[in-house]
Structure formats: C-alpha cells, structure tokens
Amino acid sequence: MAEPIRLKTPLTDNDVEGLNMGDRVLINGIIYTGRDAAHKRLYDLLNEGKELPFDIRGQIIYYVGPTPAKPGQVFGSAGPTTSYRMDAYAPALIEKGLKGMIGKGMRSDAVKEAMKKGKAIYFAATGGAGALLAKKVKKAEVVAYEDLGPEAIRRLEVEDLPVIVINDVRGNDLYIEGEKRYRKG
C-alpha cells in the first residue's frame, strides 16, 4: 500500500484536487467538530442570513460527538458518526466554502454533486476506533453551542489524524468501487 499523504488545514482547491478516492491521508492542523444538532443550528443561521460561529472557508468538519475527557486526557474517545444524517445540511455548508468532511457511511447524490461543484472532499475515519483516534487530538476547545454537550462545536488541533478519501472531486466513490471489487456472484 502507498504511504499516506500528509495534509495541512485549511485546505485549498489545489489540495483537494490532488486527492483521489482510496488515498490514505494524515490530517494536521485545525478541524471543527459538528454532528446532528449543531448542523441544524448552522443551517438555520444560513437560512436566516446570519454569520456562522466560525469561518468555514477551507475548513474540515469532523462528524463526531466525543466522550467526556478523563482527567489527564486531552480529548475523549472520538470516532466518526454516520454521515447521512448530515446530508440535508452539507451542500449549504460546502457552498459557503467548507472543503472537507470526516465521517463514515455513504453520502447522498446531492452531497456528492455539491462536492464536485464546490470542490470538497469526503473522508472516512475508522468507525468505532474512538480510543485510538482520540490520541491524535492535541488541543480541544468548545467554540459554539456548549449547551449541546457532546454535540457542541469544538475546534480541534490534530496531528496525523488518519482518514481515507471516500469521495474525490471527480465523483469517485470508494464505497461503491470497493464493494464492486470484492463482490462475488
């Protein structure tokens, strides 16, 4: 297997265009967390024509709701949640400049189309590997919606967070291609 590609956030169009379905990537820098409830709030803000609580341009949102950090831990267990629940909100965020999403599970056609148009990438992290992924988080702070508890938006500083490119900007989908390659009969 090819060596993983190191990427530094925020992402540029160039970064994104250089990625291909199946690439293993190590993400470094700042990323933001957000899942169901936070996405609904971001979406409502956009519909009301209001500013988002952070500058989303070039950023990556990680679909995760961590466990509380134990004393001595930077961050609690933090694997991805299933992404399709964010499908209704993702295209609007991509239109505002979001460049990457980390989650697990297949995206809708509308999201895939928005990714092609807005040049954004969908990465998967290993679902259920929460203890391992937590170790890649070096700093964490809540930036919005503290009342949502595990669903609050957090700014994370990550070092070599391991992900895989599922959807690239050319419309390829590793879930579809991977299954095809190994299907029997």
User: Could you report how far apart the first and last alpha carbons of the chain are, in Å?
Assistant: 27
Which amino acid is it at 134? A
Whole-number minimum distance, CB 81 to other proteins, in Å?
Answer: 7
Q: Is residue 94 within 8 Å of residue 110, measured between CB atoms?
A: no
Whole-number minimum distance, CB 62 to other proteins, in Å?
Answer: 11
Give whichever of 109 and 181 is closer to other proteins, judged by the CB atom.
181
- Output helix, strand, coil percentages for the chain, rounded to the nearest 5: 30, 30, 40
Give whichever of 14 and 184 is closer to other proteins, judged by the CB atom.
184
Task: Report the interface residues with other proteins, using CB under 8 A.
Answer: 1, 22, 36-37, 64-70, 73, 76-79, 81-82, 84, 104-106, 124, 126-132, 134-135, 148-151, 164, 174-175, 177-185
Whole-number minimum distance, CB 14 to other proteins, in Å?
Answer: 26
Q: Is 39 designated active site? A: yes
**Residue among 39, 107, 112, 136 flagged as catalytic:** 39
Q: Is 143 helix (H, G, I), strand (E, B) or coil?
A: strand
How far is residue 70's CA from residue 89's CA, in Å, rounded to a whole number?
32
Cα 7–Cα 12–Cα 16 angle in degrees, nearest 5 = 65
Give whichever of 143 and 148 is closer to other proteins, judged by the CB atom.
148
- Residues identified as active-site: 39
